[in-house]
Structures are given as structure tokens and as C-alpha cells.
């Protein structure tokens, strides 16, 4: 007794036997090729690689931009996946993300790819060489620092689109930058409530809660 071959099964078997061919065929529908180098993680509308920094916003343009949400700032972030998620968060909410060096990773890190970044997302990102550069470039902005040491809840602030929501580095071996989080440039220190004796939330989870609360207060202007 003979059995007719199932075309779909044959196709799936061929793809499993030759995964590179499967990736190449996927690229036809907009996926990035698997052999892109680490400096080619950001692509233009046609899938062509472009330089990461070329896709970013300048500090001057960020200061002049009219936004519907406060700006978000990560001071010296260390985990590329968190920053990748923050870039996508800012792209979908119309938020500008400020990254203050030193970073704990290279912007070409392959883990940024997992957030599905493209040049549209990176257009919401500003890179600052130090914190003073951020403060000087945004002189009319109020800086609100999110820290577990604050007593005021994040919901007790009336947010403005010109505000900068400041988050420090992920917990680790580097001490909290108290000069940054509690310096004279900070207008408010606020915290997210948590059950006692538990570890902190993921950095970008915290940032998401803060951005959406601020956007809610601002009537989700610009959202659909």
C-alpha cells in the first residue's frame, strides 16, 4: 500500500533540514537576515541595515519636540534587554527616551534585537555623554526621580509633557547614584508601592507603569 506525500510535510521537512534556507525565505516577508553583523541590528523601511546612532534623535531636537507624555530617562542602564523594551515602550507611547552614559552595554548588543527594534523606534532615543548634558539640554523640564527611598507615591504627582521621569541603574554591584537621584536638579522623588520584603520590579516594568499613569493624566493625547 502506498501513501501520497503531503506537500506541506515535505516543505516543513525541507525547512527543518536547511534552517538557513528558511531564514532566507522569511526575509522576503520583512524579517532580518540571520547573518547581519552586530552593527546592523537597526534597519530602514526596506530591511537594509543602518547605523544605530544615525537613527537617534539629537538632544536639540528632543528639547524642541512637543510630546503628549513626559520624557523618560535611564541613567547608566546596564541590561540591554531592559533598554530594548524601553525603546519599544517609548515608540508606542510617543515618549522620548534619554540614555545617559556610561551604559553597561554596547548599543549594538544583539540582545537589543529581541525587542524588535527598527529605525522608527530608535528615532525616539537620545544619547547623552553625561547627566549634566541632559540637564543643560532640557533647562525647562522638571526632573522626577523614581526611587525606593522616596515617601511620595508616583500617583501623587500631576505630570506635564515636559517632565523627565528619571530611573537609575538596575540593582547590582554599583551603588545607587545618590548625587543623581537626589541632587538639586531633581524636583520630586517618588516611588511605586510594593509589598514589603520583596525584590524590586523590573526596570522597564516600573517605567511602563509611570509612563502610562502620566499619559492617563494627560488624557492619552495622541493615542488611539
> Could you tell me which residues are annotated as the binding site?
168, 192, 200
First to last CA, the chain: 59
Cα 3 to chain centroid distance, Å, stands at: 53
Q: Contact 132/38 with Cβ under 8 angstroms?
A: no
Per the annotation, binding residues for S-adenosyl-L-methionine are: 168, 192, 200
DSSP for the chain reads: ---PPPHHHHHHHHHHH-HHHHHHHHHTTTPPPTT--GGG-EE-TTS-EE-TGGGSPPHHHHHH---SS-EEEEES---HHHHHHHHHHHHHHTPPEEEESSPSS-TT-GGGGGGT--HHHHTTEEEESSHHHHHHH-TTPPEEEE-TT--EEGGGS---TT-EEEE-PPSSSSPP-HHHHSSTTEEEEEE----TT-PPPPHHHHHHHHHHHHHHHTTTTT--
Amino acid at each position: 500500500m502506498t501513501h501520497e506525500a503531503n506537500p506541506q510535510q515535505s516543505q516543513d521537512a525541507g525547512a527543518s533540514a536547511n534552517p538557513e534556507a528558511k531564514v532566507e525565505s522569511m526575509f522576503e516577508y520583512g524579517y532580518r537576515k540571520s547573518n547581519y553583523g552586530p552593527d546592523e541590528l537597526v534597519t530602514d523601511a526596506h530591511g537594509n541595515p543602518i547605523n544605530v546612532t544615525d537613527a537617534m534623535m539629537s538632544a536639540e531636537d528632543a528639547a524642541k519636540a512637543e510630546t503628549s507624555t513626559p520624557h523618560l530617562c535611564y541613567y547608566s542602564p546596564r541590561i540591554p534587554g531592559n533598554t530594548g523594551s524601553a525603546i519599544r515602550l517609548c515608540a508606542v507611547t510617543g515618549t522620548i527616551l534619554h540614555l545617559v552614559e556610561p551604559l553597561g552595554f554596547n548599543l549594538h548588543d544583539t540582545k537589543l534585537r529581541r525587542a524588535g527594534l527598527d529605525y522608527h523606534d530608535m528615532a525616539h532615543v537620545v544619547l547623552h555623554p553625561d547627566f549634566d548634558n541632559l540637564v543643560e539640554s532640557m533647562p525647562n523640564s522638571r526632573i522626577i526621580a523614581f526611587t525606593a527611598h522616596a515617601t511620595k507615591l508616583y500617583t501623587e504627582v500631576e505630570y506635564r509633557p515636559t517632565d523627565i521621569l528619571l530611573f537609575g541603574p538596575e540593582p547590582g554591584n554599583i551603588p545607587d547614584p545618590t548625587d543623581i537621584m537626589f541632587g538639586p536638579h531633581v524636583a520630586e522623588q517618588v516611588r511605586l508601592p510594593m509589598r514589603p520584603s520583596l525584590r524590586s520590579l523590573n526596570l522597564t516594568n516600573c517605567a511602563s507603569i509611570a509612563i502610562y499613569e502620566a499619559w492617563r493624566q494627560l488624557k492619552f493625547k495622541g493615542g488611539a
